Structure 1
Amino acid sequence: MSSPEAHRRLAADAWESLFRAQVSVIRRLQADPALKRVNIREYDVLFNLSRCPSGWLRLNELNDHVLLSQPSISRMVDRLERQGLVQRKTVEEDRRGVLIGLTDEGRKLQREIGREHVRDIDRLVGSGLSDDELTQLKMLTDKLRSSVTGLR
């Protein structure tokens, strides 16, 4: 086992490497034609809503899954609603609560973008790593995310 100082330095170096890799991939993805109708953050909202088993999320639940602050996600949902891509409904058991879900048009657009987006991710990430490395990367990033979310 390394010294605490060496471990801290290694953690900082690993984070910097992970962050720089993510920034490089995101910049390339943002430039891809798949994201010409909505930007990558708007697509992230559509994607997260598409993964919800009930089809609906409260705004604060959606906020837990995207990289935006609460006021920013509220404004984005307003924009996506004006574009006809998401809709709101009142929570039956809590009339003050509001749920956000995809419209048919939003679901269709998410699927269209999603297919091309996955091809773009494969081109950028899949081409640089073997299947075993991709499996290991997913395992490590899932483990990291779990340990960080457990600190709340």
Structure 2
Amino acid sequence: MTTRWLTPEEQRAWRAYVAATHLLEDAIDRQLQQDAGMPHLYYSILANLSEAPERRLRMTDLAEKTKITRSRLTYAVTRLEKDGLIRRENCRWDKRGSIAALTDEGMAVLERTAPGHVETVRTFLFDQLTDEQVEQLEEICTGIARALEGDGERPSVDEVPWLRRSSPSCS
């Protein structure tokens, strides 16, 4: 197989993408550490639980939604559980499974932290784009997600939480 090297234009675009995503993730992590003492991953776990029916999800479903391994999720949930933000419950219909449930305290932390998080995302991402560029960003990211998920179908907004337009949690 012949290597398809990046063109100079693709190389510049790739490097700009990598720099922007790393800098944005760093800014989000700094804000969340300052406001809630947690990294973006932990906030995303809380946000996903807040949007789930009864604020509960099976651990395997939560791992899928947050795009992390089950072992990494177990570690994060253990920490959030120790902080009183999540409670683990037995799964009634599958004795091998367990449920992560967002506690009232976890919801309160999320509600306190969400405004600063949304402001960070708005300031460093959306305030830098025109309305047309926001639409293009959505198309580009949806196409990339579709290719990475490998099913050839455009993921629905419900399947990809960060594509939700009205999500107050801005995960």
Shared topology, TM-score over 0.5?
A: yes
Which bin holds the TM-score, normalised by the shorter protein?
0.7 to 0.9
Distance in 2 between residues matched to 1:121 and 1:63, nearest whole Å: 23
Residue by residue, what CA displacement relative to the aligned partner does 1:110-149 show, whole Å, maximum 9, x if unpaired?
Answer: 1221121001110111221112111210122022102211
Distance in 1 between residues matched to 2:90 and 2:117, nearest whole Å: 32
AA at the equivalent of 1:5: R
Report the TM-score when normalising by structure 1: 0.82
- Number of aligned positions between the proteins: 148
The corresponding residue for 1:92 is: 92
Residue by residue, what CA displacement relative to the aligned partner does 1:60-104 show, whole Å, maximum 9, x if unpaired?
Answer: 221123254332221110110011100111221112210112001
Richer in helix (by share): 1
Whether the aligned pair in 1 keeps the contact of 2:35 and 2:116 (CA below 8 Å) is no
Structure 2 unaligned regions, length at least 5: 152-171
| 1:11 positional shift | 6.2
The corresponding residue for 2:113 is: 113
Distance in 2 between residues matched to 1:68 and 1:123, nearest whole Å: 27
Whether the aligned pair in 1 keeps the contact of 2:36 and 2:113 (CA below 8 Å) is no
Distance of aligned partners of 1:142 and 1:35 in 2 relative to their CA distance in 1, 3 Å threshold? farther
The corresponding residue for 1:23 is: 22
The percentage of aligned residue pairs carrying the same residue is: 23
State the superposition RMSD in angstroms: 2.5
Whether the aligned pair in 1 keeps the contact of 2:31 and 2:116 (CA below 8 Å) is no
Distance of aligned partners of 1:79 and 1:141 in 2 relative to their CA distance in 1, 3 Å threshold? same
Report the TM-score when normalising by structure 2: 0.74
The corresponding residue for 2:70 is: 70
Structure 1 unaligned regions, length at least 5: none
SS of 1:88's partner is strand
The corresponding residue for 1:141 is: 141
